[in-house]
């Protein structure tokens, strides 16, 4: 680990508490909150900070997630830093307004505590909620554990608010698996965190008496297309900003973040691609297999939007085969969303890539399941269709 330049405190926190802690340090101007499991604890904690006077944030306890995102849009349009958090159906209810937040180029930061979508009703982890929003124009950053959730939360503000980006950003963590598990993590002291995030200076605001603005106009055939293209430009600019922010963060904390994390990939012959908490389990499996002399590695995706095609393709290009583990189904598609992106990134390379669906509705991903995916790769004959890990059929 690189040298740290500031002092840090070790705390035992759940993922929800860790992100609430990051939000407390950022001290945003407005927070719109609405309960949904497993995100509730995050905003409970943050509400305590508001009611105990530990932040100056104005809390809007709205009557739905649709209004949470709508109020966040209003607040951000009013030129202030706005946050919210949600899970699953809450994110689905926000769906309409997610596109408006990104279309209006409002740098809202939202914590998404991943949970399965109904129906049937299930409150446990999978990624179908955030994956449903993958085309909404939000930057998406996934976290492996509480430490990453905290670190990603602080970095999210810098990325979203950068003048070349100006896109809302969601940081995610796996519901219950991260959100409700207490882990020891290091947090920055408040002054260092605040200095890192910095002051927010909006480019346009509804509340500039010198310059009234119209936001959210009717945008027809003659301009809408160009405005969507400009949004793409924000996404194009994001990687450089994500990288720069990660470098600054590493200088501060010693913790390095990239678009992907390559684990024991140098001489690996096969690898698994994962996101979120499954990366921890997979690293353990990699270590076990390596002890047996089997050359395997793992690639964890941290940033899903913008998708790091080049970095991923480079990391995988020397392999004999790849398995992609998705905690989400795209019904009727050839595989999960991460699989399809990976296939696309690897276009033109003669490397077989296989899709595995795991962990829907919070089903545990135990090491033997990950190991079975590696075994498939080495045996050389995985089913060409989607396969499932830990499913009774």
Q: How far is the CB of 90 from other proteins (least distance, A)?
A: 14
Tell me whether residue 94 or residue 389 sits nearer to other proteins (CB atom).
94
Q: How far is the CB of 166 from other proteins (least distance, A)?
A: 16
Tell me whether residue 100 or residue 275 sits nearer to other proteins (CB atom).
100
- Coil, strand or helix: which one is 158? helix
Tell me whether residue 56 or residue 364 sits nearer to other proteins (CB atom).
56
Q: How far is the CB of 145 from other proteins (least distance, A)?
A: 32
Q: Which part of the chain contacts other proteins (CB under 8 A), choosing from 131-139, 186-194, 205-213, 359-367?
A: 205-213
**Crossing angle of helices 367-379 and 278-291, rounded to 10°:** 60
Q: Which of 100, 310, 369, 309 minimizes the C-alpha distance to 216?
A: 100
**Pair of tokens at residue 302:** 């941290």
Tell me whether residue 98 or residue 285 sits nearer to other proteins (CB atom).
98
Q: Please give the residues from 218 up to 247 whose contact with other proteins meets the rule CB under 8 A.
A: 218-220, 223
- b/e map of 17-53 (b: 16 or more CB within 10 Å)? bbbbbbbbbbbbbbbbbbebbbbbbbbebbbebbeee
Tell me whether residue 219 or residue 310 sits nearer to other proteins (CB atom).
219
Cis before 306 (ω within 30) = yes
Mark residue 161 as left, alpha or beta (left: phi above 0; alpha: psi -120 to 50; beta: remaining).
alpha
Q: Which part of the chain contacts other proteins (CB under 8 A), choosing from 29-37, 135-143, 150-158, 234-242?
A: 29-37
Cα–Cα distance measured from residue 161 to residue 200, given in angstroms and rounded to the nearest whole number: 7
Cα–Cα distance measured from residue 253 to residue 301, given in angstroms and rounded to the nearest whole number: 21
Q: How far is the CB of 385 from other proteins (least distance, A)?
A: 40
Tell me whether residue 225 or residue 236 sits nearer to other proteins (CB atom).
225
The single residue among 13, 18, 26, 30 that binds other proteins, judged by CB under 8 A, is 30
Q: How far is the CB of 33 from other proteins (least distance, A)?
A: 12
Residues 6 or more apart whose Cβ sits within 8 Å of residue 99 = 136, 137
Query: CB of 271 within 8 A of CB of 322?
Result: yes
Tell me whether residue 62 or residue 251 sits nearer to other proteins (CB atom).
62
Bridge partners (DSSP) listed for residue 357 = 326, 388
The DSSP result for 21-33, as a single string, is HHHHHH--SEEEE
Residues 6 or more apart whose Cβ sits within 8 Å of residue 192 = 6, 7, 252
Q: Which part of the chain contacts other proteins (CB under 8 A), choosing from 27-35, 179-187, 346-354, 377-385?
A: 27-35
Q: How far is the CB of 208 from other proteins (least distance, A)?
A: 8
Q: How far is the CB of 293 from other proteins (least distance, A)?
A: 58
Q: How far is the CB of 141 from other proteins (least distance, A)?
A: 24
Give phi and psi for 9, each to the nearest 5.
-110, 140
Q: Please give the residues from 87 up to 146 whose contact with other proteins meets the rule CB under 8 A.
A: 96-97, 100
**Crossing angle of helices 146-161 and 15-26, rounded to 10°:** 30
Query: CB of 275 within 8 A of CB of 327?
Result: yes
**Is residue 82 part of the contact set for other proteins (CB under 8 A)?**
yes
Bridge partners (DSSP) listed for residue 61 = 33
Residues 6 or more apart whose Cβ sits within 8 Å of residue 221 = none
Q: How far is the CB of 225 from other proteins (least distance, A)?
A: 12
Per-residue string for binding with other proteins, 40-79, x by CB under 8 A? ----------------xxx-xxxxx-xx--xxxxxxxxxx
Q: How far is the CB of 103 from other proteins (least distance, A)?
A: 10
**Is residue 333 part of the contact set for other proteins (CB under 8 A)?**
no
Q: Which part of the chain contacts other proteins (CB under 8 A), choosing from 149-157, 206-214, 239-247, 340-348?
A: 206-214
Size of the site for other proteins (CB under 8 A): 42
Q: Which residues bind other proteins (CB under 8 A)?
A: 29-30, 32, 56-58, 60-64, 66-67, 70-80, 82, 96-97, 100, 206-209, 212-220, 223
């Amino acid at each position: 680990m690189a040298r740290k330049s500031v002092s840090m405190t070790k705390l035992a926190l759940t993922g929800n508490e860790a992100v609430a802690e990051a939000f407390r340090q950022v001290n945003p101007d407005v927070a719109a909150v609405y309960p949904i499991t497993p995100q509730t604890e995050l905003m409970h904690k943050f509400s305590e900070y508001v009611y105990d006077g530990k932040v100056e944030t104005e809390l809007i306890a709205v009557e739905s997630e649709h209004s949470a995102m709508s109020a966040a849009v209003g607040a951000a349009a009013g030129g202030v830093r706005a946050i919210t958090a949600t899970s699953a159906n809450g994110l689905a209810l926000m769906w309409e307004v997610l596109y408006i937040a990104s279309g209006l180029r409002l740098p809202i930061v939202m914590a998404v505590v991943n949970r399965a979508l109904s129906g049937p009703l299930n409150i446990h982890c999978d990624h179908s909620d955030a994956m449903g929003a993958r085309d909404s124009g939000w930057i998406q950053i996934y976290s492996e554990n509480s430490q990453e959730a905290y670190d990603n939360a602080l970095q999210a503000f810098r990325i979203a608010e950068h003048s070349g980006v100006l896109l809302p950003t969601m940081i995610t963590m796996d519901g219950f698996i991260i959100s409700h598990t207490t882990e020891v993590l290091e947090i920055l002291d408040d002054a260092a965190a605040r200095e890192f995030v910095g002051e927010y200076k909006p480019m346009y605001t509804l509340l500039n008496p010198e310059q009234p603005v119209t936001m959210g106009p009717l945008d027809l055939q003659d301009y809408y297309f160009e405005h969507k293209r400009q949004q793409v430009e924000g996404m194009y600019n994001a990687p450089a900003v994500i990288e720069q922010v990660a470098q600054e963060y590493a200088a501060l904390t010693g913790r390095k973040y990239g678009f992907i994390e390559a684990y024991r990939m140098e001489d690996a012959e096969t690898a698994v691609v994962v996101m979120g908490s499954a990366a921890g389990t997979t690293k353990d499996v990699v270590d076990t297999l390596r002890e047996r002399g089997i050359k395997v590695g793992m690639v964890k995706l941290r940033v899903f939007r913008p998708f790091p095609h080049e970095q991923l393709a480079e990391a995988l290009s020397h392999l004999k085969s790849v398995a992609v583990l998705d905690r989400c189904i795209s019904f009727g598609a050839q595989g999960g969303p991460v699989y399809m992106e990976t296939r696309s990134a690897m276009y033109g390379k003669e490397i077989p890539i296989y899709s595995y669906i795991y962990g829907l509705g919070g089903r545990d991903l135990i090491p033997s399941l990950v190991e079975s995916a590696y075994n498939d790769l080495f045996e050389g004959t995985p089913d060409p269709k989607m396969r499932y890990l830990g499913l009774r059929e």
